[in-house]
Amino acid sequence: MDMNVLSNRFVFDDPKYTELAEQNSANYSKGSPFPHIVLDNFLPVDVVEAVLNEFPQPGGIDWHNYKRQTEIKLVCADEAKFGPVTRQLFYQFHSLPFLRFLEKVTGIENLIPDPALRGGGLHQIRRGGLLKLHADFNQHDATFLDRRVNILLYLNKDWKEDYGGHLELWDRDAKHCGKKILPIFNRLAIFSTTSDSFHGHPDPLNCPEDVTRKSLALYYYTNGRPKREAEGSHTTIFKARPDERFSGVVWRIGQDFAPPILWRGARKMRERYFGGLIQKRD
β 187-192/237-238 pair status: unpaired
Residue 168: HSE in the Cβ half-sphere, 13 Å Cα cutoff: 21
pLDDT in tens, 16-72: 999 999 999 999 999 999 999 999 999 999 999 999 999 999 999 999 999 999 999
Q: What is the pLDDT of residues 61-70, one digit of tens each?
A: 999 999 999 9
Phi, psi of 87 (to 5 degrees): -65, -45
Between CA 118 and CA 55 the distance in angstroms is 19
Peptide bond preceding 183: is omega within 30 degrees of 0, i.e. cis? no
Count of CB atoms situated within 10 Å of the CB of 92: 17
CATH match of 11-132+145-230 with 3.40.50.970: no
Cα separation of 205 and 277, whole Å? Answer: 28
Report the C-alpha gap between 24 and 100 in whole angstroms: 14
pLDDT in tens, 71-118: 999 999 999 999 999 999 999 999 999 999 999 999 999 999 999 999
Torsion sign (Cα): 236, 241, 244, 245: positive
> Residue 231: what pLDDT?
79
Kindly report the average pLDDT of the chain as a whole number. Answer: 90
Q: What angle do CA 120, 246, 124 make, to 5 degrees?
A: 25
Q: List C-alpha distances in Å: 104 to 24, 152, 176.
A: 9, 17, 29
H or E element that contains 243: none
Q: Is residue 138 helix, strand or coil?
A: coil
DSSP-assigned beta bridge partners for residue 220:
149
How far apart (Å, rounded) are the C-alpha atoms in residues 188 and 146? 22
> Would the pTM count as exceeding 0.85?
yes
Distance between CA atoms of residues 95 and 14, nearest Å: 13
Residue 257 has pLDDT above 80, yes or no: no
For the chain, give every domain's residue range: 11-132+145-230
